[in-house]
Structure 1
């Protein structure tokens, strides 16, 4: 069992782009059930199948398995539309790794940063591009951006 503990924030400026190059992600959801999301994702020439549980505070269970890239492309055609496309940037800041997602298409204009933690009480430094915390605002979850894209808000 893998437990994911993360906090999520809006990004208030694009200064992170000076320190990182984005990698294109494509992801779709076979299930957008509130209790369990089943996601297929491509990252470059690699692909993954993930199962994620509902959040308990800032934690949830996550299982992820690498799958053949060709299979992922076929599965993406079975997923609920729209497919999420985004560029992910990775920034190391004072011993912590931040992942910043710049969304495309129906979610263009949305930029989210997240940090994975060892425990729910862990304190961490925030880079200058970090804005409002959205950890508990589930509209911003990728699975929910399929059902209600950012441009429709």
Structure 2
């Protein structure tokens, strides 16, 4: 069983180091009847299908599988909500942890979110100076919700 333990933060753009070597992500969500999330993602030229359970604090079940790129393109076109999430992801190292910094585009332009994956909810980590407010449990910042209620409309 896969469990994702992830904390999510807003950033202070003026303190972010130069972002380089990012990769493009385009993703959409297949509608489900409960709190399960089914995500289709294209990362550069790779594609994945991810199933996530309901969040409980910073944790939730997560299962991810590589799928053919053409299948992902067809799913995004025909099975996902009308709009998609588009962003560039950058990886930044800070004191033994890798931070994923997502710079959103389109209707979520202006939003920059940093995430850190942990081994346990109790794991210690230090915050980089460019991290500001924690939004781990603020559902507005879930990618699946940013499709329905884009950042530009807040």
TM normalised by structure 1 equals 0.95
Tell me if structure 2 keeps the 8 A contact 1:87–1:103.
yes
Is 2:91 the partner of 1:90?
yes
Structure-1 separation of matches of 2:63 and 2:153: 30
Corresponding position of 2:116: 115
Gaps of 5+ in 2: none
Is 2:106 the partner of 1:105?
yes
TM normalised by structure 2 equals 0.94
SS of residue in 1 equivalent to 2:31? strand
User: Shift in Å at residue 17 of structure 1?
Assistant: 4.9
Structure-2 separation of matches of 1:138 and 1:95: 28
Corresponding position of 1:146: 147
SS of residue in 1 equivalent to 2:123? coil
Tell me if structure 2 keeps the 8 A contact 1:20–1:91.
no
User: Shift in Å at residue 127 of structure 1?
Assistant: 1.1
Count of aligned residue pairs for this structure pair: 153
Structure-2 separation of matches of 1:34 and 1:114: 25
The CA RMSD measured in Å over matched residues stands at 1.3
User: Shift in Å at residue 51 of structure 1?
Assistant: 0.4
Structure-2 separation of matches of 1:135 and 1:8: 5
Corresponding position of 1:36: 36
Structure-1 separation of matches of 2:27 and 2:14: 23
- Relative to structure 1, the CA distance from residue 90 to residue 34 in structure 2 (aligned partners, 3 Å threshold; closer, same or farther) is farther
Is 2:28 the partner of 1:67?
no
